[in-house]
Amino acid sequence: MKNSADFELYDKIKKYRRSILKTSVLVLFVACLLVYACACYYSGVNAFQKEAQLCSAINAEADQNVAAFMKKMEDTAKLIMGNEDYAKYDPTDTSKSEFAVLNEENVLTERLIELSTLGNYTDFGIVSSNEHNVGKITDGTKDIFDDEIYKRVSDLMGDSKIKWFTGQDDNYRRVYFAGRINDDLIFISSVFSTEFDLVFLPSDNYSEINTMLCDDDGRIIYANDGKSVVGEKLDEKLSKFLEGGTGVTVSDMTTICAIDDCSDDWVVITTVDMSDTLRHYVKTGLKCLGIFICCAVIFIMISAAAAADNDPQNGPKFGKYPKVDENTGLFTAEYTENSIMDKMETCISGSTIAFIIVKITNLELIRLNYGEEIVAEAERKVAEILVENRKEGDICGIFREGEFALFADHTNFDLVRAYGNVRAYVKELNDKLKKCCLDDDRGYIKCAVGASVYPETSDDYDELYEMAEKACEKAEHSEDARAVIYDKKEEEVSRS
């Protein structure tokens, strides 16, 4: 039979167990709340970092596209500026007959109009110092410059050989390019700013992201959000971003901005509105604080564990990942794979498309000698060559470190010619990659190029990729740095 001392001891043990249970539940709840708060904080930081990377990658790609757009116009202008037939044109020469002058102007005009078909140009012509012109100069441009095109453009150019400008007569919907042929002649062309619709990525999938092209005064030349007004100045916040120079900046946790320079002091600006994201995490933090205070009061008042109903229910939401690689500006592996498979499913019957794999074979040697930063530089160098050689509609991405993919369409109704075009294209690409080298005389970037052909090699993505990989391995181990196109007979195609 138990005595009173036994019952007293039993009661003390029972109370002690209850106390331990209450304390454990309280500590566990507080620990869970702290873990949840830390996870939310990490999630918020991670979301901002990922959005900043996305913003930077989108802006870099837009900047590259604008540069390519400008280069196309500049290359076309060089054909004219370097042609002696245009340089000899002199409307002030009185020694020629009127018929000879008219005949010369007609010939020059026909040539200029023919060249203007290389792009959707509004103006495309030559203006002389006496305000005479040949080619295609619209009445709208004449009105904008008050029939003093040569004088005003010459003043704008100053000592520059070429010049991009806009905002004449407060008209920012026309973007002009001018190139000086000689002291008396200036080549001038223009496009409507809506031509940049083909240059900038659409913002439909990222409603909070806006990419703009602005001049050195901070006036908007183009914006892809459909809300910004062309010709208006940037607001005060974005103007401060512009004063801060290029790079990625976060302002008061509500806006992320990436800025890259273009030619002639123009800049490409991409902004991400983080207001909704910030509000989400502020609300989450306040919820955590409120729950903690309420539960602390409840525990103090009733001295019982009542935390089960207050456990956090919503896990942290991490930021989305960009579809472009932040280092190279190319598509990421997953997006590249999905894009290639979509193109394989939707391309026309009889298509001929090259699946090209490019690998940097001396990447580890570069890493060993120069470090990770130069490895990233090597990837960017190769990416630049791939971007320069891809056509509109081609898919270019990076699968993993040092490995790139290019899905290049060479469709032709003549299949023999189409396959020949693939061979020539792969050879040309391999030749250019052989010349790829690091900055500061650090040496060449050695690349292996292998390819398979859809649908001749295979019409299955995995098989197509596997065969391109095999071809790339053969190219890597070849003694003459040749590229290899894989076929079912495993025939190698040498490239000099």
Residue 202: the pLDDT is 62
- What span, in angstroms and rounded, lies between the C-alpha atoms of 222 and 214? 7
- Distance between CA atoms of 409 and 299, rounded to whole angstroms? 69
Span 82-195: which CATH code? 3.30.450
Residue 392 CB: number of other CB atoms within 10 A?
6
Phi, psi for residue 25 in degrees, rounded to 5: -65, -45
What angle, rounded to 10 degrees, do the helices at 4-81 and 98-116 form?
160
Q: According to the model, what pLDDT value does residue 248 have?
A: 76
The Cα 1–Cα 53 span in angstroms is 76
Residue with tokens 């790829």: 436
Is the N-terminal amide bond of 455 cis, ω within 30° of 0?
Answer: yes
Q: Is residue 496 helix, strand or coil? A: coil
Please report the pLDDT score of residue 322 as a whole number: 61
The number of C-alpha atoms within 13 Å of 309 and in the hemisphere containing its C-beta is 5
* Residue 472 to residues 358, 390, 398, 493, 494, Cα–Cα distance (Å): 7, 19, 15, 12, 12
Select 333-485's CATH number: 3.40.50.300, 1.10.3720.10, 3.30.70.270, 3.30.300.20. Answer: 3.30.70.270
Return the domain boundaries, the chain: 16-74+277-310, 82-195, 203-275, 333-485
Which pTM value belongs to this model?
0.47
Q: Do 203-275 and 82-195 have the same topology in CATH?
A: yes
Within the chain, which residues score under 70 in pLDDT? 1-19, 21-22, 25-26, 44, 94, 201-207, 226, 244-245, 249-253, 264, 275, 277-281, 285, 296, 299-322, 488-496
For helices 275-302 and 4-81, the axis angle rounded to 10 degrees is 170
CB 220 within 8 A of CB 231: yes
- Give the torsion sign (CA, 105, 107, 110, 112): negative
pLDDT of residue 314: 39
3-state helix, strand, coil in the chain (%, to 5): 50, 20, 30
Phi then psi for 71, rounded to 5 degrees?
Answer: -65, -35
CATH code of the domain made up of 203-275: 3.30.450
Strand partners, 258: 248, 270
How far is 325 from 399, CA to CA, in rounded Å? 10
Query: CA of 344: how far to CAs of 163, 289, 408, 456, in Å?
Result: 42, 53, 12, 13
- With contact defined as beta carbons under 8 Å apart, do 390 and 406 qualify? yes
- Rg of the chain (C-alpha set): 32
Q: What is the 3-state secondary structure (H, E, C) of 230-257?
A: CCCECCHHHHHHHHCCCEEEEECCCEEE
CB 442 within 8 A of CB 461: no
Query: Which residues sit opposite 360 in a β-bridge?
Result: 447
Nearest to 86 by CA among 134, 130, 146, 119: 134
Handedness of CA 424, 429, 430, 434 (dihedral sign): positive
- Taking only the tens place, the pLDDT of each residue in 109-165 is 888 888 888 778 889 999 988 888 888 888 989 988 888 899 999 998 888 888 888
Identify the CA nearest to 382 among candidates 353, 352, 403, 354.
Answer: 403
What is the predicted pLDDT for the residue at 387? 94
Other Cβ atoms closer than 10 A to 146: 11
The string of DSSP codes covering 390-432 is PPTT-EEEEEETTEEEEEEE---SSHHHHHHHHHHHHHHHHHH
CB 278 within 8 A of CB 43: no
